[in-house]
Amino acid sequence: MTEPTYARPETLEEALLFLKRHGPHTRPLAGGTDVMVDLRSGKLKAPYLLDISRLPELQGISMSEEGLSIGAGVTISEIHSSPLVAEHAPSLIKSCAFFGSLQIRNVATMGGNVGNASPSADTAPALLVHGAEAVLAGAAGARRVPVENLFEGPYRSGLKSHELMLRFILKPARGMFSDFQKIGRRKALAIARMSMAILAESAGDGTFRFVRLALGSATPTPMRVRALESFLAGKRPDRKTLDDGAVLMAEEMVRITGRRPSTIYKEKAVQGLFLRMLYPLLENGAV
């Protein structure tokens, strides 16, 4: 195997110029926990590696009127220990708690998690329920796209070869009901077999004003389950509603993926995850 040529630009302008010239032959390198594994296995053949880990535009976590901003180069460990994220996006914190090992979390970035476009990217369901948008920079200027649209297919990203993700903007969710759950072979170092995130707001009378629900690993790309969101909106979380919701959840998953040998397991698992997240609301019978 020929070693790729390594470049480490000092500024974002240099990085974008490099991508303008060599984009189709270049792989941006953040923490490298996907890229290096794929290079070693021969799955990835990239003549150029562009190390973007030092670019200041990809760093930092802040809150402003536009929402909660998290740099694409921020590591999973930094997110996990951020008081701002804990306050405004607790399901994202939870998704980072069960992510790989400590060594992986210390170098893996959220930009890399989205850029790799794996169906089982752990941060994706939480990003989706927060209506997250990615701020991209490229030769043709900047654009903002919903994170959901960056997952075009399994390991197929919607990023153009001349583009970099700079940061993500999440709709904050202080004081709302939220959770993330994941099923893996083991808790640590497990690539999720199924994951789910929820964000729900109370209408003040015990019913849901809105619900956002996203699935990971169970479908070819992480996705919002909008049929279930509409079903739950305006309802009170009583046992019948939640049990009916669990059945609808499984039906939606099968509608998207079709029936496969693993469906028997996944139908039960997806219902179990859904009820595990929502049954705590039964204690009050209200959200």
Residues in touch with ligand FAD (CB under 6 A): 27-35, 37, 52, 58, 72, 99-100, 104, 108-109, 111-113, 115-116, 121-122, 159, 164-165, 189, 191
Phi/psi-derived region of residue 31, left when phi > 0, alpha when psi is between -120 and 50, beta in every other case: alpha
Q: How far apart are CA 226 and CA 43, in angstroms?
A: 34
Tell me the sheet residues that pair with 216: 195
The tokens for 64 are 């402003």
Phi, psi of 259 (to 5 degrees): -85, 130
Q: How far apart are CA 98 and CA 109, in angstroms?
A: 14
Closest CA to 99 of 273, 216, 220, 212: 216
Nearest distance from residue 265's CB to ligand FAD, in Å?
20
Nearest distance from residue 27's CB to ligand FAD, in Å?
5
Helix (H, G, I), strand (E, B) or coil at 133: strand
Q: DSSP code of 186? A: S
Find the angle CA(211)-CA(217)-CA(223) to the nearest 5 degrees: 35
Nearest distance from residue 182's CB to ligand FAD, in Å?
8
The tokens for 254 are 């099968």
Contacts with 24 (C-beta within 8 Å, 6 or more apart), sequence order? 161
Q: Which is nearer to ligand FAD, 4 or 112 (CB)?
A: 112
Q: Which is nearer to ligand FAD, 164 or 173 (CB)?
A: 164
Nearest distance from residue 17's CB to ligand FAD, in Å?
15
* Residue with the CB atom nearest ligand FAD in the bound state: 112
Nearest distance from residue 190's CB to ligand FAD, in Å?
6
Other C-beta atoms closer than 10 Å to the C-beta of 136 total 22
Nearest distance from residue 271's CB to ligand FAD, in Å?
23
